[in-house]
Amino acid sequence: MADDALSRLRGVLAELPGAVVAYSGGVDSSLLAYAAHRELGDAALAVTADSPSLARSELAAARAEARRLGMPHRVVTTRELEDARYAANGADRCRFCKEALMHVLSAVAEAAGGRPVLLGVNLDDLDDHRPGQRAAREMGARFPLVEAGLGKAAVREAARELGLRTWDKPASACLSSRLAYGVPVTRDALRRVEDAEEALRGAGFGGRIRVRDQGGGLARIEVEPADVMAAAARGPELAGLVKEAGFRYVTLDLEGYRQGSHNLGLTPERNR
């Protein structure tokens, strides 16, 4: 099955004259960047967008994996935080983030001779509230994983087949996604979330960890569902760690991690 998925992906990529691949270091973008490198050689450039919404550990891991795989790689700076629409953190925040990303990547692609810009969106991503995907499409991005018919499970299987260390890496959206809609996105808010999540990892919790900023100094911790009872048993300890990061109040979500849980507050109309 992995061979079939990779064959379809190679077929999509083989038609391209080159590529600029948005590379965050997650499994989707890693598979796409490495497959493009294998198919197109140095005509495929992996580009990591660096901003305050990218955790430092994620940036370091992306750089290290690109070096290990021998992929041409560049880090560029995006300034979405300077956009008042993005900082306001409405339900359409991701649109403005992707617009900032696409402006930078499009400039890199143009300087490289007009290469297409590729994003690591898979079929399963299309089901969530992601206005950024629409913005990226409108600005000319292509989604080769979607074009090849790859969902998340197929992506992970293909990544494992290729020997990518990220094949089982937990999903990790940008730090801004931890802020409830309406809570302003600031450097301090992003740092607070990053520090709190790093503290929880240091306390021994792995997998998908989120510290959600609900506003008013309130943090909502999400851990893997299997770890909820262990986290509850260590409640005072974990609360202390999160408060040290800058929060005043700390809660534990008894349902555990849920992708895009802030989106549950959106109306059906805005969730489309």
Query: How many Cα atoms within 13 Å fall on the side-chain side of residue 207?
Result: 12
Strand partners, 19: 44
Please give the Cα distance from 13 to 166 (Å, whole number): 21
Nearest one of 145, 154, 161, 162 to 11, comparing CA atoms: 145
Strands 210-215 and 218-222: antiparallel
Please give the Cα distance from 131 to 127 (Å, whole number): 11
Given a contact cutoff of 8 angstroms between Cβ atoms, the answer to whether 115 and 19 are in contact is yes
Please give the Cα distance from 222 to 219 (Å, whole number): 10
Please give the Cα distance from 138 to 117 (Å, whole number): 12
The sheet that has 117-118: what strands, in order across it?
73-77, 44-50, 19-22, 117-118
Strand partners, 219: 213, 250
What crossing angle do the helices spanning 27-40 and 152-161 adopt, rounded to 10°?
50
Concerning whether 174 is annotated as a catalytic residue, the answer is: yes
Write down the catalytic residue from 31, 123, 174, 221: 174
What H or E segment, with its residue span, contains residue 76? strand 73-77
Three-class SS of residue 179?
Answer: strand
Active site residues: 174
